[in-house]
């Protein structure tokens, strides 16, 4: 479907839960989330209905995210149901990776073809600090499990945080030499409550090209990342700049939260509810949401924070 600014909307990000087994400081508060009542959240059948409704409007790519999608007990059957939806051509999943040792294979068999795995540091103590409860060892085991499960593409997502991991840029990028995966540095977004980071934490993506002048630019692949390769590397380095150089003009996304709110734009407070609706009604609300997508998300900076009135775990990154 084409939105009011001529953009083709073909990509749905569905958050399957707000819950997470980690507590990344830029994403959610230490005490987790005030657990909503079961009845407030979309059921598996409602999620599959929403995917069918979206597919009927031309959505072809689906990403399941959260919270942490792998803490959801029915995640494999949800992926299987999504893969059986006519029109859905690609299923991707974003995860912190820690539960992949048990789930990488079943998810691949259920039809997930691409994984994005979050990893902000290669230092065990810093990993513990940023996630507040995970271990680097678990995350690495998850990445290894994903690499042996036959995914079409594996990407590592690293949130660039000044004073925390900018000193690790070369080491992190070097993973693309050692493994057949892409590493993407993502600018830290100033969300509603993204921890106690000061202005120095919000650094632009250009810091990466300054630190790694040997990066060779590659043509774009239709995604939001500016792509590069280290000489001789199997994988690519991607730079994603939602803050310093937004990509709203080519936005193809629509989002649905785990509690059934369509978010036409990640950084807007606007939400349209689909909880409890039948497929025809969901299709109609989705159509309205797509037509109400704003032209861009507005200025983002340390002082001008996202207008979204939720943290990332409650939206789905
Ligand atoms: N639990 C999964 C994970 O860790 O990947 C999926 C959900 S998480 C919200 C999805 C992505 O959003 C992660 O790559 C995370 O690093 C990113 N993210 C969360 N808060 C962010 C922020 N304030 N700025 C930039 N990226 C953020």
Kindly report, residue by residue over 256-293, the tens digit of the pLDDT.
Answer: 999 999 999 999 999 999 999 999 999 999 999 999 99
Question: Nearest C-alpha to atom 17 of ligand 1 is from which residue?
Answer: 317
Among 17, 19, 68, 118, residue to substitute to test ligand 1 (most atoms within 8 Å of Cβ): 118
Q: Is any atom of ligand 1 closer than 6 Å to the C-beta of 313?
A: yes
Contact between 145 and 171 (Cβ < 8 Å): no
Ligand 1 centre from 194 Cα, in Å? 11
Q: Is any atom of ligand 1 closer than 6 Å to the C-beta of 312?
A: yes
Closest CA to 244 of 229, 227, 226: 226
Confidence at residue 193, expressed as pLDDT on a 0 to 100 scale: 75
Q: How confident is residue 51, by pLDDT bands cut at 50, 70 and 90?
A: very high
Q: Is any atom of ligand 1 closer than 6 Å to the C-beta of 96?
A: yes
Q: How confident is residue 135, by pLDDT bands cut at 50, 70 and 90?
A: very high
Q: Is any atom of ligand 1 closer than 6 Å to the C-beta of 258?
A: no
Question: Nearest C-alpha to atom 7 of ligand 1 is from which residue?
Answer: 66
Ligand 1 centre from 281 Cα, in Å? 30
Question: Nearest C-alpha to atom 23 of ligand 1 is from which residue?
Answer: 189
Contact between 32 and 142 (Cβ < 8 Å): no
Task: Give the DSSP H/E element, type plus range, for residue 281.
Answer: helix 279-291
Q: Is any atom of ligand 1 closer than 6 Å to the C-beta of 115?
A: no
Ligand 1 centre from 8 Cα, in Å? 25
CB atoms within 10 A of CB 270: 15
| 205 strand-pairing partners | none
3-state secondary structure 88-155: CCEEEEEECCCCHHHHHHHHHHHCCCEEEEECCCCCHHHHHHHHCCCCHHHHHHHHHHHHCCCCCEEE
Q: Is any atom of ligand 1 closer than 6 Å to the C-beta of 27?
A: yes
Atom of ligand 1 nearest to the CA of 65: 6
Which two tokens mark 120?
């902000």
Q: Which residues of 150-164 are buried (b: 16+ CB within 10 A; e: fewer)?
A: ebeebbbbbbbbbeb
Which two tokens mark 221?
């692949």
Among 312, 314, 315, residue to substitute to test ligand 1 (most atoms within 8 Å of Cβ): 312
Confidence at residue 35, expressed as pLDDT on a 0 to 100 scale: 73
Q: Is any atom of ligand 1 closer than 6 Å to the C-beta of 118?
A: yes
Confidence at residue 274, expressed as pLDDT on a 0 to 100 scale: 98
Relative to beta strand 216-217, strand 90-95 is unpaired
Ligand 1 centre from 26 Cα, in Å? 8
Confidence at residue 31, expressed as pLDDT on a 0 to 100 scale: 87
| Range of weakest confidence among 35-39, 109-113, 147-151, 284-288 | 35-39
Confidence at residue 298, expressed as pLDDT on a 0 to 100 scale: 87
187-230 confidence digits (pLDDT tens) = 999 997 767 899 999 999 999 999 999 999 999 998 999 999 99
Ligand 1 centre from 27 Cα, in Å? 6
Q: Is any atom of ligand 1 closer than 6 Å to the C-beta of 317?
A: yes
Whether the model clears a pTM of 0.75, i.e. scores above it, the answer is: yes
């Amino acid at each position: 479907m084409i939105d009011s600014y001529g953009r083709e909307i073909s990509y749905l990000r569905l958050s399957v839960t707000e819950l997470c087994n980690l507590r990344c400081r830029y994403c959610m508060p230490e005490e987790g989330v005030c657990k909503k009542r079961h009845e407030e959240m979309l059921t598996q059948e409602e999620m599959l209905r929403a995917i069918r409704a979206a597919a009927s409007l031309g959505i072809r790519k689906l990403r399941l995210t959260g919270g942490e999608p792998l803490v959801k007990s029915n995640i494999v059957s949800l992926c299987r149901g999504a893969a059986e939806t006519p029109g859905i051509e690609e299923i991707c999943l974003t995860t912190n990776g820690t539960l992949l040792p048990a789930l990488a294979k079943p998810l691949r068999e259920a039809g997930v073809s691409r994984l994005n795995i979050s990893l902000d540091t290669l230092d065990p103590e810093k990993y513990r600090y940023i996630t507040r409860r995970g271990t680097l060892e678990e995350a690495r085991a998850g990445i290894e499990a994903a690499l042996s499960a036959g995914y079409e593409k594996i990407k590592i997502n690293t949130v660039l945080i000044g004073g925390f991991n900018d000193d690790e840029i070369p080491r992190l990028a070097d993973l693309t030499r050692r493994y057949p995966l892409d590493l993407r540095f993502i600018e830290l977004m100033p969300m509603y409550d993204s921890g106690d980071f000061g202005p120095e934490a919000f650094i632009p993506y250009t810091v990466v090209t300054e630190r790694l002048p040997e990066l060779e630019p590659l043509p774009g692949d239709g995604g939001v990342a500016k792509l590069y390769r280290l000489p001789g590397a199997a994988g690519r380095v991607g730079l994603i700049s939602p803050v310093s150089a937004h990509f709203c003009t080519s936005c193809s996304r629509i989002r649905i939260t785990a509690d059934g709110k369509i978010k036409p734009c990640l950084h807007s407070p606007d939400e349209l509810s689909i909880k409890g609706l039948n497929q025809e009604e969901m299709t109609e609300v989705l159509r309205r949401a797509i037509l109400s997508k704003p032209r861009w998300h507005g200025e983002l900076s340390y002082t001008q924070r996202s207008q979204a009135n939720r943290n990332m775990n409650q939206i789905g990154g």
